[in-house]
Each structure stands twice: as C-alpha cells, then as structure tokens.
Structure 1
Amino acid sequence: MNPRTHFATLARYNAWATRRLLDGVAALGEDDYRRDVGLFFKSVHGTLNHLLLGEHGVWFERFAGRASPRVDLGAEVEPNRTRLAERLLEGAARWQPLIESWPAERFGGTLDYATTKGVPLSLPFAATLAHVFNHGTHHRGQVTAALTLLGQACPVIDLVYMLQEEQAKP
C-alpha cells in the first residue's frame, strides 16, 4: 500500500470512529459528561476538547503548512457540548482531502514546525502523521473506557469494522 492510500484510510477511520464515539457520548447526561473520571484531561468533555485542540487546532494547521499555534493543550476551546461534537466531525472530515492533495514524495520528507512552546522541530513526515491518528485512537479509547465506567454502552470503533462496512457497500 502506498503512503497516500494508507493515510487516507486512517483519515476515513478517524472520521468514522469519531462519529461512532460521539453517538455513544450523546447518551451521557451533562453531569457525567463533565465529571472527572480520572482521564488525563479529566472528563469526557475535557478529552474531546483536547482532541479538537490537538488534532485539528494544532496538528492540522502544521500539516496544512500554516503556522504552528502556541497554545496550552489543556485549554478549553469549545465549552458548548453540541458545538464541540460538530467541530470534531468537521475537523475529521478535513484530513482526507488534505492527504490526497500531497504529492507522493511528501510522505518521505520532513515536517518542519514549532512546538506549542515555540521550539523548532523537524520530524519524519509520515511517522509524525501516523502520530496524529494514533493520538486520536488513544484518546477515543480513553473516552470509551469512561463510557463503560459511567454505565453506558461502549461503541465499537475498531478499524476492521469500518473496513467491513466499506466492503459491504455496493
């Protein structure tokens, strides 16, 4: 599989898994949604907010060739629960077109950017892009654990289920 195809699959998975996760989160009452359940960013809301900030507000900007923002990765950027879900879905939908716009040689290059503290870095492009999608998977896993802890059904978000769904479509 070539890198563009691989990362486009991960982008589709990211959007698919985010939709399914948010469907599961919708069943939570407001108190449970905001309750500190011991996640790194405390609550389901805090974790989803971090995904919005990190994946879409920081990493997408870097990969799109724009300036790397200097932000606190724990800052609340969207307090409204409904709008946060909408923004996560909108952000997830932007990755696949971006990935498909890059020439093949881009995946073998580097990503030059500044950290959120302003420190310049140059990292392998493809490995750093893999980090973005792994990061999302990590935090979605935290949210599914929180859903289970809070007595809700855990959505099935394994990549192979998305692939099966895609294969079943005519």
Structure 2
Amino acid sequence: MHSYFETLARYHIWATAKLLGHIDVISEEEYRRDCGLYFASIHGTLNHMLVGERNWYARIAGENSSIVALDTELESQRAALGHALDQASRRWSAWLATHPQQNYDGNLHYTRASGEPATAPFVAVLGHVFNHATHHRGQVTAALTAMGHACPELDFIYWAIAVQPTEIKQ
C-alpha cells in the first residue's frame, strides 16, 4: 500500500502543477465566472480543493482544530491560491515518507467540518485525498473546455508514460 500511495502522491503533484499551468493563461473574468460547477467558478473549485487538502492533512496529522467549511475561501488572490495548492499537493510525499506501514491497517477517527465525529478505514481516507483532487481537476478541465481553451491531459496513464518506469515502484 505504501508504494501505491507514494505513486499517487507523485502523480498528484504533477497533475496539480499541470492544471495550474493551463489556468494561468485564462482571463480573470473566465477564472471567476460561474461555470455551473459545484463551487461555481474555477476559483471557487480551486479554493475547495485547497480546503480539502488542508482539512484532510490536518485530520491525518491530528490537527482537527484547523478544519474549515468546504466552501471557505482560503485565498482570494489567484496567484496565492495557485501557490498554496501547489505546496499543499507536495506535502503528501513528505508525510508518506515518514508514515509507518502498519498504520495503513487501522481506522482514522476524525471530525467532519460540521463538527460530527467520524471513523473510516485509513486507506480509504488516504485514497479519498487523491481521488477528491482528481475529481475536481476533472471539473476544472471540463470548464476550460467549455470556455474553448485547451485542456491538459491529466489522466494517470499519461503521467505514468511520461515518467521513467523505474520511478514507479512496483
């Protein structure tokens, strides 16, 4: 499991950076336009992604007191949000390097944004971290396409082909 999650963490960094690069070229109006996404705009969706990154990291690292609502605007400025999202995506690789293999078998007890306690298998929570980002990157790429912009190929297989096969642990 450990090497699988390390692989997902490396893909997560790559896909986040690639998406942010494509967003850099759109206008401010397009960036903030309500595109019908769950969090309305590309800006709103990126903020939600950052909330997810920070909330799940806080829960996994045992910092539940820093959990915020899912629609919180953590960064109002576009460049600051992109930088924060890039940095948040990179944090998982360092954390995984120190996480003991035996902890994958347990549960994570955490607090939801609503304040309710919850318990879930640790591997499901960690899988959700990466799946959540993939889901919302997909929404943003759909919005980019609908606006007439080229959208990046973010599928996992494109990353796997682009990196050296030896970089992906078996």
TM-score, length-normalised on structure 2?
0.94
Residue 94 to residue 70, structure 1, CA distance change in 2 (3 Å):
closer
Task: After superposition, give the CA deviation of every residue in 1:111-160 in whole Å (9 maximum; x if it has no partner).
Answer: 11111111111110001110111110000000000000111101011111
Aligned to 1:102: 99
Aligned to 1:83: 80
Unpaired runs of at least 5, structure 2: none
Identity of aligned residues (%): 46
Unpaired runs of at least 5, structure 1: none
1:44 aligns with 2:42: yes
Aligned to 2:33: 35
Q: How many residues align?
A: 167
Q: What are the residue-to-residue correspondences of 1:10-29 with 2, within 5 Å?
A: 10-29=8-27
2:105/2:121 contact within 8 Å kept:
yes
Q: Say which SS state the counterpart of residue 112 (structure 1) adopts.
A: strand
* Divergent runs of 4+, >6 A: none
TM-score, length-normalised on structure 1?
0.94
Aligned to 2:61: 64
Task: After superposition, give the CA deviation of every residue in 1:18-71 in whole Å (9 maximum; x if it has no partner).
Answer: 00000111111000000001000000000001000112x200111112225342
Aligned to 2:143: 146
Query: Hey, what's the Cα distance between the residues in 1 that align with 2:70 and 2:63?
Result: 18
Query: Hey, what's the Cα distance between the residues in 1 that align with 2:36 and 2:88?
Result: 26
Q: Say which SS state the counterpart of residue 160 (structure 1) adopts.
A: helix
Q: Say which SS state the counterpart of residue 152 (structure 1) adopts.
A: coil
Aligned to 1:5: 3
Query: Hey, what's the Cα distance between the residues in 2 that align with 1:169 and 1:34?
Result: 40
Query: Hey, what's the Cα distance between the residues in 1 that align with 2:140 and 2:113?
Result: 24
1:68/1:115 contact within 8 Å kept:
no
